[in-house]
Structure 1
Amino acid sequence: MNIDILRNSLTTRILWNCAEANGFYKRFGKITPQVFIDLLLHCALHQAGYCSLSQMSNYLSWQLNIDVSKQAIDERFTDSAYKYVLSVVNYIAGQRMSSALDTSFLEAFSRVRIKDSTKFKLPCWLKDQYKGHGGFGDIQSGMCIQFEYDLKSNAIIGFSLTNETRNDFEESREEPQPILSNDLLIRDLGYWSINKFKQIKSAGAFFLSRLNTTVELFDLQGNRFELKTVYQKMKKYRLTHQQFIVRLGIKEQIVVRLCVSLASDEVYEKRITTLKKQNQRYKNATIRQETKDRYHLNLFVTNIPCQILDTPDILKAYHFRWQIELIFKQWKSIAGVASVTAVRAERFLCILYAKLILILINYRFMRVIQSFYYRTNQRLLSPYKCMQSLWLHFDIICDILKRKGWRNTTYIDSLVTRFSRNHYLENRKKHITFEDLFYYYLK
C-alpha cells in the first residue's frame, strides 16, 4: 500500500514550515511543533476532546519525558497557536492522494464530485473567529465545513472552514476548485444555480441535482410544463419513470433532462407532513394542488446524455450523494467535532483543529485500506466501522506517520489485520446500499 503522502503529512519539516508561516515557533521552548501537535492529538482523542491542563502536563511528562507546568502549557494557547494548527489542517487537506477501488466504476466520468456542508454551533466567545446566525438562545457563533471529494478516486478535492452564515448558494458562486472536462458534479438543492449549471456545461462537464420546485419549467416550444399531467399519466399507466427535455427558468434558461419517478405513498405523506409543520407559522396557509402533485414525484435534472446513463441509472446515481451525509455523521458521532467545551477560545480552536487533523488522516488511511481489501478479496469495508477503529487505535497510525519502526511491517500488519474482522459492509433490507450501487455501476 502506497501511503508515502500519509506518512509525510506530520513530518517535523512540514510542521516547522507551518509554524514559521505564523510566527508561532518563537514561543515553543521545550514544546516543539511536533510535541505541540502530539499533545493536541492526544487531547482530541480524549473524551470528545476535553483534556485538562493537568492531564496535558502529565501526558508530556509520562509519554514524552518533557516536564512542563500546566501554566506554561496554557500560555502556549495563543492567537498564533490556533492559526498554526489551522495551517497544518489546510496543508493536509491540500495533499492529493488517489486510491480508486476499480477503474471501471462510472468510467464515463473522469471524476464524480460530491460536495456538501455541515454546520454546528460554537461557544459565543468565538464569534470574532466564526460568526453565527444568532436566533434562539442568542447563539452568535457557528462553523460551516465545506467538504468535497471524488467518489471514484476517494481523493479530497476541497475542505474549508467558514462562518455559519455562509450558505451553500454563496459557496456555489465562488467555488474555488476548477471544473474539468468530464467531471460529474452531484449536488444538493442548497447549491442550486442555473448559472452554475451553465458553467458546468460550458466546461464540458456534467451535473446531477434534484429539481428546485420553485423554478418554472417550459417545454422546447415555450409552453409551461405541467407536472400534474405527468403525475396523472404515470399513475394511470403505472409507469415507474419517465424523462423529458425541458427548459429551466424564465430569464436565465438552460435545456436539461428532467428525470421523473413516482414517490411512494410513505414518502409523499412525509413530505406533506413536513410542509404542514413549516406552514403552521402562517395563518390560513394552505397547500396548493400544484404543490401536492409535485410532491408525488421524484424530480432530477441533469445534462448527462441518455447514452451514458438512462433514466433509471440517473435515479440510482443520485443516491451516491448520501455518502457524504454518512461522512458528516462520522465526524460528529465519532470525532465529536460538534462537542463544545468551556475553555478559552484559543485552546478550544486548537483542539477543534486537531480533531480535523485526525479526521483527514484517518480518512486517507481508511480509503487506502479499503482499496487494499477490495483488490485482495473484492469486498468493500464499511467506512463508519473503519473510522471507529482508527479513532480507537490512532497510536498505531502515529507510529507509522512518525516513522517509528517503519521498516518493521508489524505496525502495518497490525493495523490492517484489525480491519479483516467485522468491518465489511452489511446489506440493509429495503435500502439501496453503496455496495449495491458500486457493483451496479461497474463496467
Structure 2
Amino acid sequence: MHNEASSHEIERRLTNLLPSEALEDHADSVGVIEREGKLQLPPLVWSFAFGFAAGESRTLAAFRRSYNSTADKSLSPGGFYQRLTPTLAEYLRDLVEYGFDEVAVPHTVSEEFDRFRDVMIADGTVLRLHELLSEEYKAPHEEQAGASLHLLHNVTDQTIERFSVTDEKTHDSTEFETGPWLEGRLAIFDLAYFKYRRFALIDENDGYFVSRLKKSANPVVTDELREWRGRAIPLEGKQIHDVVDDLQREYIDVEVEAEFKRGPYEGTRSLDTKRFRVVGVRNEDADDYHLYITNLSREEFQPADLATIYRCRWQVELLFRELKTQYELDEFNTTKEHIVEILLYAALLSLVVSRDLLGLVVEHADEGIVFPPERWAATFRSHAQLILRDLREYLAYSPQPLLQRLIEDAQKIHQQRPILQEQLATTIQPTIEA
C-alpha cells in the first residue's frame, strides 16, 4: 500500500499545482472553451507542458499528437489548429504567471546568502523570429524579427519571479522595476542594467545589489576602505578609472560618490548624489581588475566575497541555456504572432512543471544531495513522456487506441491533393499500357 501511494506522488504534486477544475474554470472565464465542448483543457495544458520536453520535435503537429495521446477524443489537424488562438496564448500566460508564483524549490543556495530573503538575477535573451513578424517584433536590423524574453530569476527558490516578452529593440533595463518588493533581497546585475538611480532606489527600499562597474562610469573616490602598507597610491579624490591601470594591489575597496538624475517630478528631473562601494578583484590572467559596485558592507562581505556573489549570474545563463537546448526555445518559424506566444508560454510552462518536480525530488532525496540544473533538465526531459502517460492514467483519460490514432495521423488529409505515388501512377500507367 505504501508503494502504491508513493507511486502517485508525482501526479498528486502536478494536479495540486494545476488542478483540472481550476484549469477549466479559468478557461471558461477567459473564453477559451467553445460551446460544443470537444476540447478538453487539462489534456491540452499538460500536452503543452510536457510536449515541449517530450516531443520528438517542437512542431504544432507534435503537440497535437501529444494531446491526442492524452485526451478522450482526438482532434484533427484543422480542429487542433483552429483552437490555437490569441485567447489561448493569454490563457497560457496566466498559467505561467500562476505557476511561477506557486513553485519553490527547497533552499539550495550557499550559506553566505542566508542573510538575504532571496537572491535575484535579472537578465534577458533574444529569440529569433520569422522575418515576416518584423513589424510586431522589431529587431535592430530591418530584415530581421526578434523577441526578447526578460526574466527575474529567483536563485534561492530556483524559480522565476517575473517575466515579460517584448520586441528585440526593447532594452532589458526597462523591464526591471524597483519598489518595496526589494526589501531584504539581493539583486545581481550585468552591465545592461547599470544605472546609479536604480542602485539608489534599491538601497532606499532596503534592498541590496551587486553589479559590474561600467567603463563609462567614473565616480569619484571619497574614502578608502582598506589600508595598504608602503608606498601605495592614494585614491581619495580621484576618479576610479583614471587610476585603476596604475594599481598593483590585490584588491581595490573604496567608497565612491556618484551623481545621477532622479525621476521626473512636476516636469523636472533633479540632480542627486549617492555614495556606494566599489570593489576591484585583480584578474592576473588579463592583468586588470574586475570592478563591482554595491551597497553591501565591508564588515560582512570582503572583496573576494563579492566576486563569488557575482558568479551566481551563471545561474541565469544556465536557465536560458536550458530553455534553448532542452526545450529548443531558440528559433520560431511561424509567421503568426499568437503562435509564437503560445510556443513561448508552453516552454515556460514546461519550466514551471520541471521546477515543481525538482522541489519534490529535493524533498525526498537524502540531505546533501546536489541536483545540478542542467542535469536535472535533461533528466526531466528524458522522463517527460512517462510522466505524461502516468498523469493521463491518474486523471482517468482514455484516448483512442494507438492503432486508430496511427490510421488517423497517417492517412491523406485532402482528397483533392493527390500524393506523389498517385501522381506517378497516373503519369506512368498510360506509357506502360502503350
| Cα pair distance change 1:347/1:201, threshold 3 Å | closer
| Cα pair distance change 1:134/1:355, threshold 3 Å | same
* Cα offsets for 1:135-155 (capped at 9, x unmatched): 16x113x22222223323334
1:232 to 217, 238, 246: 246
Alignment of 1:205-354 (within 5 A): 205-220=207-222, 223-234=237-248, 239-249=249-259, 251-265=271-285, 267=286, 296-342=288-334, 344-354=336-346
Equivalent residue, structure 1, for 2:430 = none
1:29 to 27, 34, 37: 37
Aligned AA (2:73):
I
Instruction: Tell me the CA shift for residue 179 of structure 1.
Output: 3.0
* Cα offsets for 1:78-104 (capped at 9, x unmatched): 222222222222222232535113794
SS of the residue aligned with 2:119?
strand
SS of the residue aligned with 1:89?
helix
CA contact (8 A) 2:127 2:148 kept: yes
CA contact (8 A) 1:43 1:51 kept: no
Alignment pair present for 1:69 and 2:62: no
Equivalent residue, structure 2, for 1:47 = 56
2:368 to 378, 385, 389: 378
* Cα offsets for 1:107-146 (capped at 9, x unmatched): 2222211221112122234456x5222516x113x22222
1:145 to 114, 127, 149: 149
Equivalent residue, structure 2, for 1:159 = 163
Larger RCO: Structure 1 or Structure 2 (Cα < 8 Å, ≥ 6 residues apart)? 2
| Cα pair distance change 1:258/1:127, threshold 3 Å | same
Alignment of 1:423-438 (within 5 A): none
Instruction: Tell me the CA shift for residue 39 of structure 1.
Output: 3.9
CA contact (8 A) 1:188 1:209 kept: yes
Equivalent residue, structure 2, for 1:420 = none
Instruction: Tell me the CA shift for residue 352 of structure 1.
Output: 3.2
Aligned AA (1:26):
E
Aligned AA (2:90):
K
SS of the residue aligned with 2:222?
coil
Aligned AA (1:184):
L
- Distance in 2 between residues matched to 1:25 and 1:310, nearest whole Å: 57
* Cα offsets for 1:253-303 (capped at 9, x unmatched): 2211111122234x46xxxxxxxxxxxxxxxxxxxxxxxxxxx22100111
Moved more, 82-91 or 58-67: 58-67
| Cα pair distance change 1:229/1:317, threshold 3 Å | same
- Distance in 2 between residues matched to 1:58 and 1:369, nearest whole Å: 29
Aligned AA (1:340):
F
Moved more, 142-151 or 397-406: 397-406
| Cα pair distance change 1:397/1:100, threshold 3 Å | farther
Structure 1 gap segments, 5+ residues each: 269-295, 407-443
- Distance in 1 between residues matched to 2:66 and 2:109, nearest whole Å: 43
1:10 to 12, 15, 18: 18
- Distance in 1 between residues matched to 2:393 and 2:108, nearest whole Å: 27
Equivalent residue, structure 1, for 2:380 = 390
Alignment of 1:189-208 (within 5 A): 189-208=191-210
1:185 to 184, 187, 190: 187
| Cα pair distance change 1:100/1:28, threshold 3 Å | farther
Count of residues in correspondence between the two structures: 365
SS of the residue aligned with 2:39?
coil
2:131 to 113, 124, 134: 124
* Cα offsets for 1:29-77 (capped at 9, x unmatched): 311211322443464332341143xx66665555544143222222212
CA contact (8 A) 1:18 1:87 kept: no
Normalised to the residue count of structure 2, the TM-score between the two structures is 0.74
- Distance in 2 between residues matched to 1:184 and 1:201, nearest whole Å: 10
SS of the residue aligned with 1:121?
strand
- Distance in 2 between residues matched to 1:232 and 1:367, nearest whole Å: 49
CA contact (8 A) 1:186 1:318 kept: yes
Aligned AA (2:149):
I
